Amino acid sequence: MRGPGRPRSDQARDAILDAAFQLLEENGLERFTIEGVAARSGTAKTTIYRWWPGKGALAMEALLAHAELTVPIPHTASAVADLRTVLDGIARSFAGATGRVVASIVLAGQNDPATLKVYHEKVVEPRRQRLRDIIERGKRNGEFRADLHVETLVEAMYGALYTRLLIRFSPLDEPGWMDRHINQLLEGALPRPLCSQGA
């Protein structure tokens, strides 16, 4: 089914994507350069330009090909515990090399809507959907309020992760952080009147 001609070199392709990922985690996307990728991968610049339209697309594919973006989908009896598992997994991956690359991609997207769109479809949406599923299950369980607005909760949980990644209020691997965050999101801020004694 493949037509005539020299086939594309998978070796070159892999070398390019590997080099791209390495350079992204070393320097971030600001100093990420096609020529740098060519040099480190041992390939020619022209080969890169033949297959990728620009640095945004290349960085994106390097991320998708290389990152451990596939957190396992837990499904235990407790929706809260599953939530914790998923969010912990994301936090761990954000705290490492993948996090820096993700940050580069997201921020590159500010001036490259196409790249940001792909990131949405390939990374953000699937993950959000996973959270949604878990929360819906929790609502059916009775673990969560029946009138809970799922999107809002998803946004709050995801938002904290991305904010720590990008703005760096505080480190992503601060011990106990995620537990505290989840607990408070679930419990809310308003005082809970005790049933045994009115307030």
d(CA 69, CA 36): 25
Kindly report the length of the chain.
199
- Please state the closest distance from residue 173 (CB atom) to DNA, in A: 31
Quick one: 1 or 195, whose CB is closer to a copy of itself? 195
Residues binding a copy of itself (CB under 8 A): 27-31, 100, 103-104, 106-108, 110-112, 116, 120, 124, 128, 142-146, 148-149, 152-153, 155-156, 158-160, 162-164, 166-170, 180-181, 184-193, 195, 198
d(CA 49, CA 127): 31
Position 50 contacts DNA (CB under 7 A): yes
> Which of a copy of itself, DNA, none does residue 162 bind (CB under 5 to 8 Å by kind)?
a copy of itself
Position 12 contacts DNA (CB under 7 A): yes
> Which of DNA, a copy of itself, none does residue 3 bind (CB under 5 to 8 Å by kind)?
DNA
38 in Cβ contact with 45 (< 8 Å)? yes
d(CA 196, CA 199): 10
Residues 55-74 that bind DNA (CB under 7 A): 55
Position 186 contacts DNA (CB under 7 A): no
**Near DNA by CB under 7 A: residue from 25, 28, 40, 45:** 45
Give alpha helix (H) positions in the chain: 10-27, 34-41, 45-51, 55-66, 79-95, 97-108, 113-119, 125-141, 150-166, 177-187
191 in Cβ contact with 113 (< 8 Å)? no
Position 78 contacts DNA (CB under 7 A): no
